[in-house]
Each structure stands twice: as C-alpha cells, then as structure tokens.
Chain A
C-alpha cells in the first residue's frame, strides 16, 4: 500500500500544479476591436512567414499558374509587378520596395482581401509579418518595428504602440493571370523562390473559397449573398457599397456613380475577373464621365473629353495623358468578410 500512497501523492502534486496556465507575450495591451472576437488562427506570430526578399521573373515564366489563377498587380511609376494568389495563400504578406516606395502586399486567404499597404506609416518603415491573429476571419498583420497589430480590412492599427494609426494604400488590380499576362506581357511576377518550401500549386484551404462555410466566427453574418462571392467594396462618406464582380459584364462595365458625397467611376469585368474604383473628380475640379472602351486592354475606359484611361486609372491617350485618377477607398473581399466589417452595406445592382 505504500506504493499506492506514493502514487497518490504524486497525483495530488500533479493536480495541484495543473491549474490552467497560459503564457503568451504577443497580445497584451488595449485593442480597438473587441478582443473577445480576435482569434488565434493557430499558426502563431510569423508561423505563416511573410516573403521579405521577393524575387521576380518574367510574367510568362510561371509554369505552375493556371490561366484563371488570380494575381495582384501593381504599377508604381511604370514598374509593373504581379503577386499570385497561389503564393500569397501561403505567405499572406510580401514586403517589397519599388522605385523607393516601400510596400506590403497583404492578402488574406480567408476573407479573400488584397490590399497594398504603404509601409511609411510604421516605425522605421518596417516590414509587416503575419501575427497569426484574426478578426472577422481577416488577417491581422503586425509591424516588426513596434510589434503593433493592424487590421487589414479596417486599414488601421488596432493594438500596440501605433494604435489608432491608419494605413495608406496603393492602387492594385486583382485579375486573372491570363488577363494580366495579356495586358502587361513585359511585367514581372513574383517567383516561387521565396526561401520557403511550399506547394504553391496547391490551394491550402480545400474547398473553402467556393463553399459557404467559415473557419472562425464573425461578428455579423449577412446572408444577402453567398459568403464567398467576391465583391468590390467602396467606402465613402461613412457609407459602404458592394459591387459583385460577377455582376459586371463579361468584357468590361463602367459605372459613373455618386456615393457618400463623392463622384466615382467603377470598372469591372466578370469574364476577366477584375473590379476597381477611382474618383472621377480631378484636381482641377473637373468631374469626368466615363464610357467603356472594348478590346483595348489595359485601356478600359474613355472620358467625355476623349482621353483613354487604363485599368489603373492612368490617362494613356488623349488630352489628359499622364494624369491619374485618385484612388478610391475600395478593395475586393469575400462578401461575408466585407459585410462583417462594414454592416449595412448597399449592394449595387
């Protein structure tokens, strides 16, 4: 019986030492979003590694990409680069520098949202990493300078030293690899030589991007649309509007709208799977009216003065050649994610 007593004592000692404990230094401090709705996605901070030394190849050189795979295209001073979703599905952030402009290409595979962040707003223009935390299933990047946590779709620092700071963004175009390649055959595309061993041809989330399931709870579910419908969300004057990409015509559609007290032009194509929004009012006070131009990609629209504009809102031909349309506060996301962040969003018909 002595042995039983010994084992009982050991067990008692284990029990007394088994009070629930947790030790994690990543998430302390005040949050601007409900902390009880922030979830640890599982991988942990930097468990999904950002690409910090991106290598690029000619756009036609990606043998693993399918024509319909989506890419995030950017145009900084004429330097055109594409970042494929199949790489960002595994890394979520690419820290890049183009023509001296420091960028973080952020992409959340769970909310399908891609936004190019300007890193100038962070401490020492620092790079961003994946915190492993999610709010409304959406990526929470952290900046490596201050370890502050930022909400991607809220475009704001929500925890840490820089809490409350808003992030500036750059224009991007998400479209299919085929469309991008046809529009910009001389552009560069992110190489799979990322420094990490990943299966970039394999989508890591199974049937997630097409089914109606979520992986984490969101604060609000809006069932007016299928959860994974891709929409271009527009924010203006405290209001939000969503444009369903599949509702645009197969070639290209242009919508001249007034929303939230501002004038916008919204372009999109269901066939080529892109959508973008720009401000129609120029610095000189002129408000332009746009119509489509067909079969001239990357030119997609012509204004009432005869200037042709490309998909990035750059005037290419005509009297205003060289001018740019201002970026609207807009980005593409899965409907459920957009609706969770921006309740009462109008859906454009």
Chain B
C-alpha cells in the first residue's frame, strides 16, 4: 500500500489574505479497499513554514514562523469489488509566531476540527498479477465541518489560520499504477487530484462578500520499492498548483503559485494488516504569486490498519 500523507499550507506575506486552504487533498490515500475491507489510517503531520518567497526568489527573512500540527483520520471501506468509500477527517492545531529584533512580538494559536472529504472511488482496472496495472477514479466533496469564523477576542482570525474553510468544494481524484514484479519489485504510479473550491461567507451576513480559496491541483508521480525486509520505500515527485484566492470575485494578490516537492517515504510492515509509515516533504522548486511564506519542510508519521470485515464475519 502506497500512502501519501502530506499537508500543504502557505501564508501570504504582505497585507493580504492567504493561500492556505484546507490540508486535505494532498492527504488522500491512494489505496482502494477491496470488498468488505476496512482500512483505517491515523497520521500525525508537522508542517513548518519559515521560507519567504517572492516568485522563485527566496527572501532573506526570518521574522515569521508558522507551525501546523495536524492529525488525519482516514477510513476506506470497500462496498463492492470495484467501489469503495473514503472519508478523511482532520484535527488541526497551528501557531503563527512573529519575531521583532529577535524577540517574540506576536503569537496566534488556533485549533479545532478541520474539514473533511468524502470520496467515492471506482476501480476501473483492478490490479491483477498478470499485467499489474491499476486504474481508480474518484469523485467527492470536501465538507465544511471545520470552523471558518473563529474570532480572537472578537476579531476574525485570518482565513489561513482558521481550522476550516467554510465552503463546500468538489473533488476529483485519479490513480494509476504499473507494477514490474518479478523483474523488479517496483511499481510506478501517477496520482492526480483536483479541488474546485466553493465560496464561504467568513465575513458574515453584514458584508455579503465571499472568500474563495484558489482551486488546487496535485500531481504525484512516484515509485514504490518492495524489499524482503521489514521496510518498503517510496519516492515521489509532487507538483502542486493553486490559483489565486478570491474575495468578492476579485483575485487576491500574494496567493496561488506552483510548487514541486520531493517526497521520500518508508513503510514498516508491522504485521499482515498493520503498517507504519514515515514520510517527509522537501521543496525543490517554488514559483509563488507575489510574496508568500511557504513550507520549509514537513514530516509525518502514520499507522495504518486494514481488516476484511466480511472475512471476520464468516
């Protein structure tokens, strides 16, 4: 099982809002559950944002630091041999620290239940031992269950510091893989996901001006390598594109951009149905619209359990 557990958030730098969005899309597991199979994954992710980029140029700036701690719970269940349901929920805690002359000048901490994703996946080409090809497509929605109007002593917290986005989004998802066993204990895969974002009402009814996070595209191209040992390995290139956020229909500056990451991971097979995974995310290239604070690194550790409920039952 190749699992992609990543979390992305960006924060704009000058006086504007943000390009964070919900950290859900990049966290979706690529596996499809077989009929009656229940897969449960619990992951902790740390995302550290300290780099300030203007376009492709890194600015010499160490004033700000963002840390995002998230816990992700993903449940997959195979309804039939081809159709499975995925539900992903997150719990988030994040801090924004500002330093002035080396001293902490300002700190904002927020946390809570974040948004969730519900996805229906259809396995168009089930994985077989002969051609070792798999193709699964999914469609779903992001559910605005996290709070997007959190206030600090009466003042609305910035959009990218809210636990949720406050908007219903459409989600498209696809996964293709090709294995090469027994020639090589290797499979290569392509995972594409897209989030078409809706508009929230975070400024309240008195303004009637909506905020829309930029649409988000993930393209993950990678390979998984199996060994005869306790460990399996994955290596992936991840491309992420987000369009600028919008306020009242107008595009916001300093939001959106393109990112390319290297994502190494190692899986430890604890038992037949129990897997642990350690993963990191290293930025290779960033081309951001305007100036933004962006991910310096992220790391995650996860535990994954699968069980066939039908098998248990009978």
The residues of A with any CB-CB pair to B shorter than 8 Å are 1, 3-4, 7, 10-11, 14-15, 17-28, 31, 35-36, 38-49, 89-90, 92, 109-110, 129, 132-134, 139, 196-199, 202, 204-208, 211-217
Contacts and interface: CB of A to CB of B under 8 A. Distances in A.
Given A41-B16, A43-B13, A27 B112 contact: no
Interface of B: 11-18, 38, 40, 42, 54, 57, 59-61, 63-64, 71, 73, 91, 93, 96, 98-100, 105-113, 147, 150-158, 160-161, 163, 203-204, 206-207, 209, 247-254, 274, 289-291, 303, 305, 307, 312
Nearest to A144: B100
A25 B106 CA distance: 8
B209 A217 contact: yes
A14 B112 contact: no
Interface centre among A19, A45, A139, A216 (most CB of B within 10 A): A216
A23 B155 contact: no
- Chain A to chain B: the 3 pairs with minimum beta-carbon distance, closest first: A213-B250, A197-B60, A20-B112
B155 A27 contact: yes
Given A42-B160, A129-B100, A214-B248, A47 B63 contact: yes
A89 B54 CA distance: 14
B105 A205 contact: no
A128 to B, nearest CB: 12
A27 B59 contact: no
Given A7-B40, A40-B156, A90-B14, A204 B254 contact: yes
A14 B71 CA distance: 8
B273 to A, nearest CB: 8
Contact of B290 (A1, A48, A204): A204
Contacts of B38: 4
Contacts, number: 196
A25 to B, nearest CB: 7
B155 A133 contact: yes
Contact of B109 (A17, A21, A92): A21
Contacts of B111: 18, 20-22
Contacts of B247: 213-216
Interface of A is mostly: loop
A42 B57 contact: no
B293 to A, nearest CB: 9
A216 B207 CA distance: 10
A206 B153 contact: no
B305 A7 contact: yes
A46 B73 contact: no
A24 B152 CA distance: 6
Contacts of A39: 155-156, 203
A196 B157 contact: no
B91 A14 contact: yes
A22 B152 contact: yes
Contacts of A48: 14-15
Contacts of B42: 7, 10-11
Given A40-B155, A196-B61, A204 B113 contact: no
Contact of B106 (A26, A89, A212, A215): A26
A1 B308 CA distance: 11
B54 A202 contact: yes
A214 B63 CA distance: 27
Contacts of A134: 15
20 contacts: A11-B73, A17-B91, A18-B112, A22-B152, A23-B107, A23-B110, A24-B108, A24-B109, A26-B106, A39-B155, A39-B156, A39-B203, A40-B152, A42-B17, A44-B98, A49-B63, A132-B106, A197-B60, A199-B59, A205-B290
Contacts of A19: 112
Contact of B107 (A24, A41, A90): A24
A197 B106 contact: no
A234 to B, nearest CB: 26
A3 B204 CA distance: 43
Given A4-B305, A109-B15, A24 B98 contact: no
A28 B17 contact: no
Contacts of A41: 15-17, 158
Contact of A45 (B98, B112, B158): B98
A214 to B, nearest CB: 7
Nearest to B152: A24
A30 B66 CA distance: 28
Contacts of B156: 36, 39-40
A199 B112 contact: no
Given A7-B40, A22-B151, A36-B204, A46 B16 contact: no
B253 A205 contact: yes
A129 B106 CA distance: 12
Contact of A25 (B54, B107, B252): B107
